[in-house]
């Protein structure tokens, strides 16, 4: 499968953001001469920040973000060319931003099943971060200095606007939300990608039975992590039972209770982790080859398992990795 990421909506939105940041500067210089008024840089930074907040999070598609970013750029450039006060066209930018957030919310909550997946933890963190930064942006536009304000007020507004833009740009480059510590974010990501305990142990199980199951489960986890038997497409429940010295029925029960998945889902989880690692090392690998290398019999089962475990399709995951490398 050839890579089709020659045009990346992700990169396009970042480019539009940079244009919104810089466009007010030559316009202000043309009208008032150099040095450029702090208002121009402040307004550009706020408009660019609004565009950066359009970048899709988690499973959201980039096309919607791209079209809204073009709309914001049109409002920004149109207001500047028409010599409108910055506060006026910034309000137009925020109206589009509010409409964008409404569209995203309607799309998300129309798919209720997604809200109850284990990856919803990270979705909520990203959503809260976007809402927080949006609230800060709206407040800064509301407090934008009017014509005739003291120079210190204008410079202060410019400084805060540039700080906000810098924070959002760092958020784009690093993937961090900036609201919680990096260690806590890493812990949440590991919980999503590495924790198989999606359901609690059954209440009816006796303590000694759970202790025995836990020991078996630890042997299974060690086997999967160290020897990677899942890379064999014909790896079966019988093979695993023989490797950890137990019988098939007990092993199946153990995996179901302690991981919340059946044997096939359990094995596919490890295969998808392996696939993701391969793509992170080389995003230009063919997806069909990655599927075969990871133990899948077909690309259909690979695509379904990838979407279930990663919350996005293999092609979108691959394109995002390529775009991130090109930006870095």
pLDDT digits (tens, 9 = 90+) for 84-123: 888 889 999 999 999 998 888 777 665 544 444 555 666 7
Q: According to the model, what pLDDT value does residue 101 have?
A: 87
Which of 190, 217, 240 is the last residue in one of the domains? 190
- 54 φ, ψ (degrees, to nearest 5): -85, -15
Within 132-280, strands assigned E span none
The CATH number of the domain holding residue 323 is 1.10.10.60
CA 45 – CA 22 distance, rounded (Å) = 8
Within the chain, strands assigned E span none
Q: Is residue 322 part of a domain?
A: yes
- Residues 224 and 162 sit within 8 Å (Cβ to Cβ): no
CA 23 – CA 26 distance, rounded (Å) = 6
Report in angstroms the alpha-carbon separations of 179 from 25, 108, 141, 216. 31, 22, 21, 39
Mark whether 225 and 173 lie in a shared domain.
no
Nearest to 55 by CA among 320, 290, 269: 320
Report in angstroms the alpha-carbon separations of 90 from 112, 141, 191. 34, 7, 40
Q: Is residue 278 part of a domain?
A: yes
Q: According to the model, what pLDDT value does residue 148 have?
A: 76
Mark whether 135 and 213 lie in a shared domain.
no
Q: According to the model, what pLDDT value does residue 228 have?
A: 93
Which of 190, 218, 242 is the last residue in one of the domains? 190
Q: Is residue 295 part of a domain?
A: yes
- Residues 16 and 45 sit within 8 Å (Cβ to Cβ): no
Q: According to the model, what pLDDT value does residue 301 have?
A: 87
SS (H, E, C) 98-129: HHHHHHHHHHHHCCHHHHCCCCHHHHHHHHHH
Mark whether 176 and 225 lie in a shared domain.
no
Mark whether 217 and 180 lie in a shared domain.
no
- DSSP for 36-64, written as a single string: PPHHHHHHHHHHHHHHHTTS--TT--HHH
Q: Is residue 1 part of a domain?
A: no
Question: Which pair of tokens denotes residue 106?
Answer: 């309607």
Q: Is residue 2 part of a domain?
A: no
Mark whether 130 and 218 lie in a shared domain.
no
Mark whether 168 and 205 lie in a shared domain.
no
Q: Which residue has the tokens 């990856």?
A: 119
Q: Is residue 245 part of a domain?
A: yes
Quick check: pTM over 0.75? no
Question: Which pair of tokens denotes residue 88?
Answer: 């006026």
Mark whether 206 and 177 lie in a shared domain.
no
54-81: pLDDT as tens digits: 988 766 777 888 899 999 999 998 888 8
Which of 163, 190, 217 is the last residue in one of the domains? 190
Mark whether 181 and 240 lie in a shared domain.
no
- 168 φ, ψ (degrees, to nearest 5): -70, -35
Q: According to the model, what pLDDT value does residue 64 have?
A: 86
CA 157 – CA 265 distance, rounded (Å) = 53
Mark whether 259 and 114 lie in a shared domain.
no
Q: Is residue 3 part of a domain?
A: no
Residue 279: half-sphere exposure toward Cβ, Cα within 13 Å: 28
Domain containing residue 53: 9-190
Q: Is residue 36 part of a domain?
A: yes
Question: Which pair of tokens denotes residue 42?
Answer: 């402040």
Mark whether 60 and 83 lie in a shared domain.
yes
Q: Indicate the SS3 state at residue 193.
A: helix
Mark whether 164 and 246 lie in a shared domain.
no
Domain count, the chain: 2
CA 103 – CA 110 distance, rounded (Å) = 11
Question: Which pair of tokens denotes residue 144?
Answer: 């934008």
**Which portions of the chain are predicted below pLDDT 70?**
1-7, 29, 31-36, 58-59, 108-122, 186-207, 328
Within 8 A by CB and 6+ apart from 313, the residues are: 303, 306, 307
Question: Which pair of tokens denotes residue 148?
Answer: 């005739």
Mark whether 76 and 148 lie in a shared domain.
yes
């Amino acid at each position: 499968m050839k890579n089709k990421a020659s045009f990346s909506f992700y990169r396009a939105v970042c480019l539009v953001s940079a244009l919104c940041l810089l466009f007010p500067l030559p316009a202000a210089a043309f009208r008032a001469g150099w040095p450029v008024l702090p208002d121009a840089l402040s307004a550009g930074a706020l408009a660019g920040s609004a565009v950066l907040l359009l970048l899709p999070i988690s499973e959201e598609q980039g096309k919607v973000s791209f079209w809204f970013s073009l709309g914001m750029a049109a409002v920004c450039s149109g207001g500047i060319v028409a010599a409108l006060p910055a506060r006026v066209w910034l309000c137009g930018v925020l109206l589009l931003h509010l409409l964008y957030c409404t569209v995203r919310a309607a799309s998300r909550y129309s798919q209720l099943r997604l809200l109850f997946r284990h990856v919803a933890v990270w979705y909520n963190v990203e959503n809260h971060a976007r809402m927080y930064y949006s609230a800060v942006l709206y407040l800064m536009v509301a407090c934008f200095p009017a014509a005739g304000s003291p120079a210190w007020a204008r410079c202060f507004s410019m400084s805060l606007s540039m700080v906000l833009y810098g924070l959002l740009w760092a958020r784009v480059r690093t993937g961090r939300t900036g609201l919680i510590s990096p260690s806590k974010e890493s812990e949440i990501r590991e919980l999503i990608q590495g924790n198989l305990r999606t359901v609690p142990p059954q209440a009816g199980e006796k303590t000694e039975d759970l202790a025995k199951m836990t020991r078996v489960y630890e042997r299974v986890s060690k086997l999967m992590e160290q020897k990677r038997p899942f890379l064999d497409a014909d790896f079966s429940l019988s093979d695993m039972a023989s490797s950890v010295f137990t019988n098939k029925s007990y092993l199946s029960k153990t995996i179901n209770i302690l991981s919340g998945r059946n044997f096939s889902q359990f094995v596919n989880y490890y295969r998808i982790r392996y696939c993701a690692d391969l793509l992170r090392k080389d995003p230009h690998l063919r997806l069909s080859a990655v599927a075969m290398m990871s133990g899948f019999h077909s690309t259909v089962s690979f695509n379904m398992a990838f979407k279930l475990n990663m919350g996005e399709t293999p092609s979108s995951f691959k394109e995002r990795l390529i775009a991130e490398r090109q930006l870095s």
